[in-house]
Amino acid sequence: MGGAGPARRRLSPDPPVRHDHATLVYNHITPRLPGTDDQFLIHEFGLGYNEITASNLVKIDVDGHVLEGTPRINPPGYVIHSAVHAARHDVNCVMHTHTPYGMAVSALESGFVPLQWPAPADWSTANVS
């Protein structure tokens, strides 16, 4: 585990992340490894949040080289997260989920439609990247 040990333990909490907030296996939480600008942890592909443990996290760099663990990761998840980690050294952790409500809205032809007054205010000030 090397220097990644504490970060691995923080990413695999006990009890696990509430997996009812995100479905499927295409969700990721990737903490940057302390003291690095180009390394982070990502979970092995095919695992839900409730299955992530410290031992099945993969240490990877922003160029896609697996430094520790199985090379079985989700390529699109790696691409998204490595881009953020490479561009934003002030960001120590990146997370995205595919919630049932988010997937439903994304499936609409119209996409997100602010139908009530607070929605446009919240959406315009959201830090979404």
The pLDDT of residue 1 is: 45
Residue 121, Cβ density class (10 Å: 0-12 exposed, 13-18 middle, ≥19 buried):
exposed
Determine the average pLDDT of the residues in 30-44: 91
pTM for this model (two decimals):
0.68
The pLDDT of residue 52 is: 81
More confidently predicted of 35 and 126: 35
CB 33 within 8 A of CB 40: yes
- How far apart CA 31 and CA 108 sit, in angstroms, is 32
All domains in the chain, ordered by first residue: 2-99 (3.40.225.10)
Provide the pLDDT confidence category of residue 4 given band limits of 50, 70 and 90.
low
Residue with tokens 């409500």: 101
CB 8 within 8 A of CB 1: yes
